Structure 1
């Protein structure tokens, strides 16, 4: 049994100017509670979905780029809709093989299940994480446990 939808799935920005397709299952879904994500989303955390670049395609619209500088000094391109400003994906500094999709931009979000939470040391005190969530006080250096937890969860 799989908890995943039939791929491809589609998504886009709030105004509809940008559309994309995700052709295969993500590598993992997680929440990030760092203060930067809190600021970027205007909320308590952000959701993130690691996907292979080859499985992701922007099919419509123009994206703009804002270069965010992480505390580490790494430059992280933020790709957002030129019209409504919704951040659609991020290009992680780890390499060109993947992108970090913002899963709230999917047309159907009912199947999302974050299996990990990053930067829990700066999480809002009222945020309660499920017991089966992998937690990291800061940024993990090894994503293999997150990807394994995602594979395990999808198989139900």
Structure 2
């Protein structure tokens, strides 16, 4: 199975504070989120199926920061953007962007094994967030080629 980098576009239909493992409690306002991760092991993009199972309440195991967010009933997986390349951090940095108006992030989320400020970006509008995610994947892939 192919692997690479993926970004989950998530919707939260209500605001809440969620305990995120070692990160502790974090506020997650209602809105749209983009979580960027990697699927480079033997299961490849099968990891996305695992994330969907956590979001659907079919898997209670919490390994990664995103599991805590996905495990909250107000969070659903809307869409997934993926690229068959090892460009996780390059995508996450581009989605988060330096001071992009309207974008926010949860500091330290999903990046305990790298030096990125975050791998979770938020926005009030789905269309703007999704466009940012798609641009980030395209640019990071082009730079790595």
TM-score, normalization by structure 1: 0.34
Higher helix share: 2
TM-score, reference length from structure 2:
0.35
